[in-house]
Amino acid sequence: MDPTQAAFAARAKHAARATSALHRKQATAQAATRNVGAQVATRAMDLVGTPYRYGGTNPQNGLDCSGLVNYVYRDVHNVKLPRTSRELSQLKGPKVARGDLKAGDLVFFKTGQRSGIDHVAIYLGNDRFVHAPRSGESVRVDHLSKPYWTKRFASAKRVLQQPTTLAAETTSVADKPRTKRTRKS
């Protein structure tokens, strides 16, 4: 092998290692996101049966829809979120297509009780979500494919990208400014 071929082979080997490391890092981040969402979904399921209470923010006194979301995210990941469903829907961060929903994502509805977004729930997976529906009822699980919810589905957001990091606050490597490297002589 001549020196040019050897140098090319060495660069190719280095590039393959770097690509492999990047793929491992991405897979780890994806697994962490799944775990974060699963933790949120599991905690939300623990609250099924909690009575609805307008303005309620804790399970001891009752929860409304945004109170449920706030309580779960604060309890599981110590993340403080906006208080109302409308404010939650305006969080920065990636919108999620209905077909790409993952456990822990927030789903927003327009039920017609007020103008705009007026209901929020936590997606569990397999077309199911947990929410605090209305006075006289309790936190329960419903299906997005039910005609009532399909008709009223407005949008969805992924609040957490990485463990305990708000999606709105995450930055990718591509977003960070490059620093100039200097060679030591």
Three-state secondary-structure class, residue 113: coil
Query: Which two structure tokens, joined as six digits, stand for 109?
Result: 């509805």
Catalytic pick among 14, 23, 77, 131 = 131
Token match 């001891």: residue? 60
65 an active-site residue? yes
Can you state the percent helix, strand and coil of the chain, rounding each to 5?
40, 20, 40
Q: Which of 14, 65, 77, 143 is catalytic?
A: 65
> H/E element holding 11?
helix 3-46
Pairing label, strands 106-109, 128-131: unpaired
Phi, psi of 25 (to 5 degrees): -65, -45
Token pair, residue 185, equals 């002589």
- For the annotated catalytic residues, the residue numbers are 65, 119, 131
